[in-house]
């Protein structure tokens, strides 16, 4: 279970770092201007764990094998060690991830501050190509329908 506890602590560490103050970065001076980076921060984590045990079963007249119901729930009560009856186990797993997407930066000058948005041009270009194909498809469909005799 030590590994599992370590994993939980590591995941909790990721969540702590991705707090509200991670959205606005530290002010930086670039070429005489003060810039404050602004980003959208998302994170997620999930984990699961469980344990189980195999209860003993008493078969035949083997008195030594029998145990009470309370004992049967524990892994120490074992009728047949060779077959592993009465053994128990536990395990867990999990994962986490975080994403930071730059949105804008705040430029602080002598006349005041202004917010300069940042565009993801690759995403916009891909969407533009998809939209162009969509429009061409629709126009083609309409023309085909209109010109059909």
Q: Which of 5, 47, 58, 89 binds other proteins (CB under 8 A)?
A: 47
Q: Examine residue 32 and tell whether it contacts other proteins (CB under 8 A).
A: no
| Closest C-alpha among 26, 74, 27, 69 to residue 54 | 74
Q: Examine residue 6 and tell whether it contacts other proteins (CB under 8 A).
A: no
Q: Which is nearer to other proteins, 57 or 109 (CB)?
A: 109
Rule CB under 8 A: which of 120-149 touch other proteins?
A: 120, 123-124, 127-128, 131, 134-135, 138-139, 141-142, 145-146
Contacts of 105 (CB under 8 A, 6+ apart): 35, 36, 37, 38, 115, 116, 118
For residues 58 and 113, give the distance between their C-alpha atoms in angstroms, rounded to a whole number: 80
- At CA 137, angle to CA 132 and CA 143, rounded to 5? 125
Q: Examine residue 108 and tell whether it contacts other proteins (CB under 8 A).
A: yes
Exposed/middle/buried for residue 37 (C-beta within 10 Å: 0-12, 13-18, 19+)? middle
Q: Examine residue 12 and tell whether it contacts other proteins (CB under 8 A).
A: no
In the complex, which residues of this chain contact other proteins (CB under 8 A)?
15, 18, 20-24, 27, 34, 36, 38-50, 103-104, 106, 108-110, 112-115, 117-120, 123-124, 127-128, 131, 134-135, 138-139, 141-142, 145-146
């Amino acid at each position: 279970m030590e590994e599992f506890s370590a994993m939980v602590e590591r995941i909790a560490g990721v969540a702590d770092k991705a707090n509200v103050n991670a959205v606005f970065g530290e002010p930086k001076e670039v070429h005489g201007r003060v810039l404050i980076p602004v980003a959208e921060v998302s994170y997620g984590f999930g984990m699961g764990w469980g344990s189980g045990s195999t209860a003993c079963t008493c078969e035949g007249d083997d008195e030594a094998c029998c145990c009470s119901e309370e004992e049967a729930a524990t892994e120490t009560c074992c009728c047949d060690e060779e077959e592993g009856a009465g053994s128990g186990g536990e395990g867990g797993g999990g994962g986490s991830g975080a994403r930071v997407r730059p949105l804008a930066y705040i430029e602080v000058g002598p006349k005041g501050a202004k917010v300069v948005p940042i565009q993801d041009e690759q995403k916009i270009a891909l969407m533009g190509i998809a939209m162009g194909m969509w429009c061409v498809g629709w126009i083609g469909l309409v023309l085909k329908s209109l010109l059909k005799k």
